[in-house]
A and B are shown apart, each in its own frame.
Chain A
Amino acid sequence: MNFSSFIQYIASGTAYTLGVTLVALPSGLVLGVLFALLYVYGGRVVSRLMSLYSTVMRGIPPIVLLFILYFVMSGSVNLSPFWAGSISLGIISSAYQMEIVRGAILAVSGEQMLAARAIGMSTLEAIRYVILPQTLRLAIPPWSNEAAIVIKDSSLVYALGVPEILRRAQLISASTQQPFLAYISAAVIYFALVFIANRLLARLERRLTIPSNP
């Protein structure tokens, strides 16, 4: 077997890699934005709860949460390996994305909220029309970091046997006894995915730049 047939065999696992990423990243974003808003504007108790969530979820290695969801909780919820992996990565990513968005919210000066309230906007309106549009733009650069991490962390579902890029690399490495080619192929594919994702995000960032606020 030559390099291109290695790439071909391993790349057919890309669908799973993208699948896990496309579940984990957006669900983490939705939760992350929601939790960040609750953290900043939710009052003392909610704020403490969000802080606890962030600390716990960032303290658990993704693979441990994956095993807990798949093996330990199998009596209550019977998840397929794909969903156990996607959900656990989504939960952990939500904690990181929450911190990214929270940082961005704090970067938008707090006086803007006061000003918005002073001209008669409700807090929700101020968040919707003043705070979030700026926050989400500011969050893109650090968020592209998180996107790269989730793409690569999706390889962890190999531990449950999801035939994604890394697992396919292991299988072909064993059957051909050519680990070097197998893992180099996997590395090339991961690199291509992260490279493309970061390029797309950089383009998005440029397009969304507010001209007066470069």
Chain B
Amino acid sequence: MKKSLVLLVVLTVLGGILAGCASQGKQSVLDKITKDGKVMVGTSADYPPYEYVDDAGNKTGFDIDLMTEIAKRMGVELVWVDMPFDSLVAAVQEGKIDMSISCFNYSAERDEQVDFSDAYYTSEDAFLVKSGFAGAIVNPEDVAKYKIGVQSGTVQDDWLTTTLVEAGLVEDANISRYERVDQAALDLNAGRIEVLMADYVPAQALVKQYPDFQVVYHAVLSTGPLNIVLPDGDAKLQAEINKVIKALQDEGFIDTLATKYFSE
């Protein structure tokens, strides 16, 4: 009898706590952001060049600069909340942070928990060759026939490793990995590699720098569109963020950032 009484009390208390979770107001987060004059944005600052800490310990990267500009356009102060990547979606869902920018790709699974902004950037991959290149690249796997260069630790490096090396199409030793893309470009120019795989935006920057270079193939291979994660069902906030993203795209601000971060 006593035991069941204790159990009843415990269940009632637990139920109350859980009900508290469910009964949050449906007010738009945008109103809260405007009222407080600050936006709390989560990121996992361990993914260069999108988000990382510099030697002085400050957050920097493509996403960081972009979000800084978005907050400036919204006229609010930006407060960064660093958190491991796995915790970010739950933190947005529970209202611990207002939104999250951390190189997120849209996925249907995540979409059930949270909402997404429009893509602020679509990361495409490109294959660069020097004029006089005799081969042909019709399918991306065709690069396996040539000497390939890539910046080490990038998503392109990952793609080459999983799609070509692990599939047995090419020996790992045949891929030259460089610390920076510009070093790889020097070797492409010198003929030590035949194909350079890089993000499309910095690849185009390299073509401007080396008139002999040309992009023979570009497509979404390794990353795809990037979106900001927003609270579920908050159309007002979503519309505002999409508006700012659209403006920044039209002004070329985002392409400038991509060149800055993806080619160094």
Whether A171 and B46, one on each chain, are in contact in the complex, defined by CB atoms closer than 8 angstroms, is yes
Residue of B16, B21, B83 near A160 (CB, 8 A) is B83
Whether A161 and B81, one on each chain, are in contact in the complex, defined by CB atoms closer than 8 angstroms, is yes
CB-defined contacts of B31 to chain A, threshold 8 Å: none
Contact with B along A160-198 (1 / 0, CB 8 A): 110100010011111101000000000000000000000
CB-defined contacts of B82 to chain A, threshold 8 Å: 161, 163, 167, 171
Whether B87 and A161, one on each chain, are in contact in the complex, defined by CB atoms closer than 8 angstroms, is yes
Contact with A along B75-99 (1 / 0, CB 8 A): 0000001111011001101111000
Please provide the chain B residues from 7 to 31 with a CB less than 8 Å away from any CB of chain A in the complex.
16-18, 20-24
Whether B96 and A172, one on each chain, are in contact in the complex, defined by CB atoms closer than 8 angstroms, is no
Chain B interface size range: 20 to 34
Whether B53 and A175, one on each chain, are in contact in the complex, defined by CB atoms closer than 8 angstroms, is yes
- Is residue B57 contacting chain A, with contact meaning CB distance below 8 A? yes
- Is residue B54 contacting chain A, with contact meaning CB distance below 8 A? yes
The smallest beta-carbon distance between A183 and chain B, in angstroms, is 13
Whether B95 and A74, one on each chain, are in contact in the complex, defined by CB atoms closer than 8 angstroms, is yes
Whether B21 and A74, one on each chain, are in contact in the complex, defined by CB atoms closer than 8 angstroms, is yes
Whether B54 and A175, one on each chain, are in contact in the complex, defined by CB atoms closer than 8 angstroms, is yes
Residue of A1, A70, A158, A171 near B45 (CB, 8 A) is A171
- Is residue B140 contacting chain A, with contact meaning CB distance below 8 A? no
- C-alpha gap A174/B46 in the complex (Å): 5
Whether B46 and A71, one on each chain, are in contact in the complex, defined by CB atoms closer than 8 angstroms, is no
- C-alpha gap A49/B7 in the complex (Å): 11
Chain B residue nearest to A45 (CB atoms) is: B2
Whether A174 and B52, one on each chain, are in contact in the complex, defined by CB atoms closer than 8 angstroms, is yes
The smallest beta-carbon distance between A68 and chain B, in angstroms, is 10
Whether B52 and A75, one on each chain, are in contact in the complex, defined by CB atoms closer than 8 angstroms, is no
The smallest beta-carbon distance between B62 and chain A, in angstroms, is 14
CB-defined contacts of B153 to chain A, threshold 8 Å: 177
- C-alpha gap A124/B2 in the complex (Å): 27
The smallest beta-carbon distance between B93 and chain A, in angstroms, is 8
- C-alpha gap A71/B55 in the complex (Å): 32
- Is residue A76 contacting chain B, with contact meaning CB distance below 8 A? yes
Contact with B along A65-101 (1 / 0, CB 8 A): 0010011111110000000000000000000000000
The smallest beta-carbon distance between A11 and chain B, in angstroms, is 12
- Is residue B134 contacting chain A, with contact meaning CB distance below 8 A? no
Whether A73 and B21, one on each chain, are in contact in the complex, defined by CB atoms closer than 8 angstroms, is yes
- Is residue B48 contacting chain A, with contact meaning CB distance below 8 A? yes
- Is residue A159 contacting chain B, with contact meaning CB distance below 8 A? yes
CB-defined contacts of A171 to chain B, threshold 8 Å: 45-46, 52-53, 82
- C-alpha gap A72/B22 in the complex (Å): 10
Whether B57 and A9, one on each chain, are in contact in the complex, defined by CB atoms closer than 8 angstroms, is yes
Whether A158 and B84, one on each chain, are in contact in the complex, defined by CB atoms closer than 8 angstroms, is yes
Residue of B17, B22, B90 near A73 (CB, 8 A) is B17
Residue of A1, A70, A173 near B55 (CB, 8 A) is A1
Contact with A along B146-166 (1 / 0, CB 8 A): 000000010000000000000
The smallest beta-carbon distance between A168 and chain B, in angstroms, is 9
Can you name 10 A-B pairs with beta carbons within 8 Å?
A: A49-B6, A71-B90, A73-B17, A76-B20, A160-B87, A161-B82, A161-B84, A171-B82, A175-B52, A177-B153
Further contacts, 16 of them, CB under 8 A, given A72-B18, A163-B82: A67-B90, A71-B94, A71-B96, A73-B21, A75-B18, A75-B22, A75-B24, A159-B84, A159-B87, A160-B87, A161-B82, A161-B84, A170-B84, A171-B45, A174-B48, A175-B52
